Amino acid sequence: MNIELQRSIDRIFGKWICRFLSVFYRGERTLPSGHVPKRILIILMSEMGSLVLAHPMFSRLKEKYPGVSLHALLFEKNRECLEVLDVLPPENILTINDKSLGQFAKSCLLALFGMRKQRFDAVIDCELFARVSSIFSVLSGAPLRVGFHPHTQEGLYRGEFINRPVLYNPYHHISQQFLTLAEAIDSPTEPKAKRRMKAQGDLAVPAISFGQDEMERMGRRVAGDFPEIPGKDLVLIYPSGGILPIRAWPLENYCRLAGDLIAEGYAVGVIGLAEDGPLAARIISCCGEEACIDLTGYTKSIRELMILFHFASLLITNDGGPVHFASMTPIPTLALFGPESPALYGSLDPEAINCFLGISCSPCLTAYNHRNSPCDGDNTCLKEIRPEGILERALEILRSEGRVRPAPLA
């Protein structure tokens, strides 16, 4: 299903389902504050990058409730990201297939059956006002249900059955807000989880280690497939906006940037999914150089992409999954933000550099509009980030004497 269909289903049907369920669960008795849960379900169905940003929450739950059994509900396409993070056993992952409406309906029923069978003590709904996740939280059967709530704000209606409601705060990084959800399980305050937050620098995600054999295979593969690359520093660029094209820096800017980097003696690799191939072809045709290579669809998994990052000197990327996957590897990152703010969704890598102009209408993708921008497609917030400025920042990183050197291609 495309994102517009998902939004329509959530808006048209979700609201009435929430009202119907509220009739039965509004006055329900619940477990008292201080109850220690043994089995917790985390619902996080959005993009893969959000799973990386939720890593501190998973760690906090394990610290707070030793021996707790953590489970997760997410879209099937995001499963691999959670497996790479290794925050819970693979058998504890429930998934929903959203490729078509029929598959979505069938997998929802199977997921509900699986949730009821597990008899969870608590469910944490990490979605930002999507109604489908709140419906899953109440139908899970868990007596404690944590989730974002508008309180006195004019937010989206999600029913009256979230019995550990947390105030959504758009001024705090989403990782901090996920931690607040974790603290709300046994919080006695109103609203829940009034707490002093950790310093943002304390929320860095751990590096993911890879076997020597995996590293050597990737090094030989890239060197063999692209013999013009070894001996040059490789700069990776991600020009796609993913499911939200408005997040993409203009393609002509990437073309110019790639050409300028090649002129400075660097190699450029365009990464992305296989369907991003036309973007890579456009950039390569503009450069007219062998030193610009097409890596879209080259890596068959997130794990392979993260291994590839070890062989590159810099990642220049739109806001999206690669920003957060890179935070678990040594590669320096230069990320371009506009429709969304790095203050809310920036990388947890303290060394990552975020480019954000903060013009009057930016950011425009929020929890309150289901990340459905009112912009007419003219994303001035990104267009006004000039290629010469990004080139200057990139060269500063690449020429820094203290930078971490990538693994050699061989």
**pLDDT tens digits for 111-150?**
999 999 999 999 999 998 788 889 999 999 999 999 998 8
- Read off the tokens for 218: 């990737």
- Read off the tokens for 260: 């300028």
- Read off the tokens for 207: 């590096």
pTM as predicted = 0.90
Asked if 151 contacts 191 with a C-beta cutoff of 8 angstroms, the reply is yes
Residue type, 309: F
Band of the pLDDT at 31, cuts 50, 70, 90? low
Asked if 234 contacts 311 with a C-beta cutoff of 8 angstroms, the reply is yes
Give bridge partners of residue 72 from the DSSP assignment. Answer: 42, 93
Q: Please determine, for residue 47, whether its predicted confidence score (pLDDT) is greater than 60.
A: yes
Angle among Cα 224, 230, 235 to the nearest 5 degrees reads: 110
Least trusted range by pLDDT, from 10-14, 120-124, 320-324: 10-14
Which letter does DSSP use for residue 171 in this model?
Answer: T
Compute how many other C-beta atoms are within 10 angstroms of the C-beta atom of residue 392: 11
Percentage of the residues of the chain whose pLDDT score is greater than 90? 62
Which letter does DSSP use for residue 363 in this model?
Answer: -
Distance, in Å, from the CA atom of 300 to the CA atom of 280, rounded to the nearest integer, reads 17
**What number is the average pLDDT over the span 33-46?**
86
Chain position carrying tokens 């009821």: 116
Give Cβ neighbours of residue 95 (< 8 Å, ≥ 6 apart): 73, 74, 75, 76, 79, 107, 111
pLDDT of residue 33: 61
122 φ, ψ to 5°? -145, 150
pLDDT of residue 190: 81
Q: Which of 297, 243, 185 is nearest to 49 (CA)?
A: 243
Band of the pLDDT at 32, cuts 50, 70, 90? low
Chain position carrying tokens 């901090």: 176
What CATH number should be reported for the domain whose range is 212-398? 3.40.50.2000
**What number is the average pLDDT over the span 36-40?**
92
115 φ, ψ to 5°? -65, -45
Q: Please determine, for residue 382, whether its predicted confidence score (pLDDT) is greater than 70.
A: yes
Band of the pLDDT at 110, cuts 50, 70, 90? very high
The percent helix, strand, coil of the chain (3-state, each to 5) is 45, 15, 45
pLDDT of residue 102: 85
Helix (H) or strand (E) holding 174: helix 174-183
CATH class as words, domain 3-203: alpha beta
Asked if 72 contacts 92 with a C-beta cutoff of 8 angstroms, the reply is yes
Q: Please determine, for residue 235, whether its predicted confidence score (pLDDT) is greater than 70.
A: yes
Band of the pLDDT at 244, cuts 50, 70, 90? confident
Ordered strands of the 93-96 beta sheet: 93-96, 69-75, 39-43, 122-125, 144-149, 164-167
3-state secondary structure of 303: helix
Chain position carrying tokens 């003696």: 265
Asked if 336 contacts 317 with a C-beta cutoff of 8 angstroms, the reply is yes
Q: Please determine, for residue 161, whether its predicted confidence score (pLDDT) is greater than 60.
A: yes
Q: Please determine, for residue 230, whether its predicted confidence score (pLDDT) is greater than 90.
A: no
pLDDT of residue 18: 81
List alpha helices for 65-167, DSSP H. Answer: 79-85, 101-118, 131-139
**What number is the average pLDDT over the span 300-323?**
95
Asked if 54 contacts 175 with a C-beta cutoff of 8 angstroms, the reply is yes
Q: Please determine, for residue 26, whether its predicted confidence score (pLDDT) is greater than 90.
A: no
pLDDT of residue 55: 95
Domains 3-203 and 212-398 share a fold: yes
Domain boundaries, the chain: 3-203, 212-398
Query: Residues 264-289: pLDDT tens digits?
Result: 999 999 999 999 999 999 999 998 77
Q: What is the mean pLDDT of the chain?
A: 89
Which letter does DSSP use for residue 311 in this model?
Answer: T
Band of the pLDDT at 355, cuts 50, 70, 90? very high
- Read off the tokens for 97: 């297939």
pLDDT of residue 136: 92
